[in-house]
Every structure is written in structure tokens, then in C-alpha cells.
Amino acid sequence: MQDVTIYIINGVLLLGACLLCVSFFPIQRLVGQLPEGALRKRWNDLRALILFFIMGYVCFTFLYWMEYDNAFNLVVPAVFFLGAVLILFVGTLALQTAIEIKQMAALQYENVTDHLIGIHNRRYLDRRTEEEISRARRYDMQLSMLLLDIDHFKIVNDNYGHQIGDRVLMSLGQLLFREVRDTDIVARYGGEEIAVLAPHTSVSSAIELAERLRRSVEKSIMVPANEYEKRQAISITVSIGVAGLDKEVVDHQSLIHRADNALYGAKQQGRNRVVDFDSVKESS
């Protein structure tokens, strides 16, 4: 009977040691997926503690191997074994949770991102515009929208093809991201039209922003020259309509509609210019 007990205790110790070693790998994978920072440091600390626990477990097994004489001595090995099971469970669960969160984040990114340009899509623009309008009214803040359209974009597509046209759109989207504030929202409205939603921004400040963007686009090369394809560098200009939130704006659609009317005014006046909705309203 005593021999059976010894074998059971040693078997539990060995199994626990194996579980501890196995539990180290999911935590290792989890740490590898985390970005540099405080969270990764904490998981590294936990990994060091697990290593320490494994070393202690191995030392305990070595020192007390074949030293048990009754069933009561199963208590300590059983506690060690349950600790190993707990660490394996926590490590595996943490890794699985991290993987699923990453997948959810990727899915959410796909749902709100225009895959061609790499900026937000129309769905995200509508939702955020509605949210920002509610926030602006609640806290009596200013809110403006810019709507940009590439001038004569059809000529670019006709002369160079749609692939080059897509590259122009991507370059424009990247330029806008660099030029606007972190709090501004850049989204594709449709076709070659791109919207910039600017919270905490008056119409006059939005006009200054739009003029800065217009000049930056005008000076930039959207697609560099290619001697092999015998293609010159491609530059573009944009027309921009600006509208601000006031009492007559009832929802996000009316704010976008105002910006669109201002954009139409900019095109009517010769393109490559900035026009605000109030000036269009006064002239009509």
C-alpha cells in the first residue's frame, strides 16, 4: 500500500511539473503579441514568477522524491498540482482572449474603414457626425465639416487608368491624415469625395483649415513620375465646401447636405477653391 502511495504522489508531482512547463508556452506566445509598454512588462513579470514556481516545483520534487510514507503526504503534491492546473488554465485563457480581441478589433476596423483609401468609410462618418452633433449641442460647442472633391478626376482615370486613379485617392487620403488634427475625422463620403469632420472648430477656423489643405494638395505630387511607363508626375487640385453646425441643422444629413452645397458652389466658381455654405446661401 505504501509503495502504491509513493508512486501516486510521484506521479502527481511529475504530471504537475509537465503542466507547468506546458503552461509557459501560451504565456510566451501572449507576451510576444503584446506591444511594448507597461502591459507587456507585467506579463513578463508574471512569466518570471511562473519560471520561479517551476524551479521551486522541480526542487521540491527532487528533494522529496520517494520520501513519502502515508497518504497524508499527498496534500502538498496535490496543492502543487492544482497550482499547475490553475496556471495552465489562466495562461491558455489569456492567450485565447487576446486572440479573439485582436480578431474583433480587426473586424471592427474592416467595418469602419474604406479599403481602397485606408480612411474611415461612409458608415463611420454618418455615425460619428451624429454623435458629434449631439455632443456639440449638449455642451454648446462648435462643429464644422469640410467636403473635398478632386477636380476633373475623370480626366485622371481616362488618361492613366483606374489603378492610377486609385493611387491618387490613396495619396490624398494619406495627405489629409498628416495635415489634420488627431481629433478630426477623415472619411470617404463617396467616389472621389472625402469629408473632414472637425469638432470644436468654428466655420472661420474650418475655412482656414480647408485653405491650408487645398494649398497642400496643390503643391503635392500624388503619383510620382515613371520613366518606364512614360508617365509624368501626377498632381491634382481639390474643391472644398465648408459648413458649420447651427440651429437649422437638424441631423447629420443636413450638415453633410450643407457641405455638399458649398462644394457645389466651389465647383461653380471655377474649382480649386474653398467656399463656405453661408456665402453660397447669401448669393442664392
Return the active site residues. 192
Q: Distance between CA atoms of 214 and 217, rounded to whole angstroms?
A: 5
Count of alpha carbons within 13 Å of 33, Cβ hemisphere only?
Answer: 16
For residue 31, give the 3-state DSSP assignment.
Answer: helix
198, β-bridge pairs: 144
Q: Distance between CA atoms of 90 and 41, rounded to whole angstroms?
A: 17
E strand intervals along the chain = 143-150, 185-190, 193-199, 238-244, 274-276
Contact 187, 122 (CB under 8 A): yes
Three cell numbers, residue 154: 475623370
Residue entry with cell 518570471: 48
Q: Distance between CA atoms of 167 and 229, rounded to whole angstroms?
A: 15
Q: Distance between CA atoms of 282 and 90, rounded to whole angstroms?
A: 66
Q: Distance between CA atoms of 62 and 118, rounded to whole angstroms?
A: 58
φ/ψ of residue 264, rounded to 5: -60, -40
Three cell numbers, residue 168: 491618387
Nearest to 176 by CA among 234, 119, 233: 119
Three cell numbers, residue 7: 508512486
Compute CA distances 276 → 73, 144, 145, 187, 268, whole Å: 84, 10, 10, 19, 13
